[in-house]
Amino acid sequence: MRLDPLPLGPDHDLPAPLLTELTSLYAAHRDFHALGGDFPDPDDIRPDQVAKALAGELAQPGAEVLLARDAGRLVGLAVTLARHPDPADPDPWIGLLMVDAGLLRQGYGRRLATLVEDRFRAGGRTAVRLAVLDGNTGAVAFWTALGYEPFGRGRDREGDRPCTVLRKPLGEVVRTPRRAARVVVRDPEGAVFLLRYDNIEVGVHWAPPGGGLEAGEDPRTGALRELREETGWTDLETGPLLTTWEHDFTHLVVGPVTQHEHVYVTRGPRREPAGDHLAAAHAADGILTWRWFTPGELAESPEPLWPPDLSGLLDALES
């Protein structure tokens, strides 16, 4: 998932295709807009109304509208405020966080909130606040599950409506050590099978099948288990060790980790992953798709690879 500021034209207007996407995103949240009252008719939200609402957000000093995209698709947006108008308030605010209604309960809201928090943390901010209108019990449950705690009562800026203010400290990220293993599968022509992942911390990247080791599991056994779980291939064995490496990322379940990986190589036929369980397994691990890379494609991949310089490591092993 990528998080980028809202792009505006030379006259501060929105490109038509983007405005269409944003209108669809807003229109899918009828109940939220009915509660907030920000649109005249929550059953008929129009592009000009969305453009006006976003212009109003950006008119506030220090405001930013951030668009979240996953594989090019608009999946959500966040509106943030660098500083509240009250000079006694030292924290930045999240004014709005909205996720595509068709993607709810799939972790996108959590990932979007984490990216927003990371932006504030990188800017040296130590906490973040937000307000939830009375009656929006689902939003209170969502934010408290992410570590936000009620901080007081207030009234919202737009409509002077009663709301609960929540706050979350943004301390230093604590990473959990994690052991993992992967298997690079090469076909008879030297092509490599890779999975395309999207991670809330490091973004989109390609990696061989693999994952975290179970308690007491040795790397070769774990690598082979992960290979079978993510491809359905049960006829392969791990070959030589290609490399070990350590890197940081945020696991969907464990959270921020420092992962130490063993990466092995094996040979196998060129084929597709197979198995009824694969779709669920891939969704749980943030796997977007898969493909075979020729040696040339691997060397020129425009997207990051795990481990880095995978092409050079394979060439060195061959020689």
Domains of the chain in start order, with CATH, are 2-169 (3.40.630.30), 176-318 (3.90.79.10)
pLDDT band at 160 (very low <50, low <70, confident <90, very high): confident
| Beta-strand pair 176-186/162-169 | unpaired
- The answer on pLDDT for 117 being more than 80 is yes
Give the C-alpha separation, 28 to 33, whole Å: 10
Which amino acid does the sequence have at 30?
R
Backbone angles phi, psi at 150, to 5 degrees: -55, 135
For residue 235, what are its two tokens? 């006829």
In sequence order, what DSSP letters do the residues of 243-307 get, joined into one string? Answer: EEEEEEEEETTTEEEEEEEEEEEEE--------TTHHHHHHHTTEEEEEEE-HHHHHT-SS-BSS
Cβ contacts of 76 within 8 Å, gap of 6 or more: 25, 67, 68, 97, 98, 99, 100, 103, 108, 109, 112
Q: Tens digits of per-residue pLDDT, 27-80? A: 999 999 998 888 999 999 999 999 999 999 999 999 999 999 987 899 999 999
Please tell me the predicted confidence (pLDDT) of residue 105: 81
Q: Tens digits of per-residue pLDDT, 205-218? A: 999 999 999 999 99
Count of beta carbons in the 10 Å neighbourhood of residue 94: 22
Q: How many helices (H) and strands (E) does the chain have?
A: 9, 14
Backbone angles phi, psi at 165, to 5 degrees: -95, 130
The pTM of this model reads: 0.61
Please tell me the predicted confidence (pLDDT) of residue 317: 94
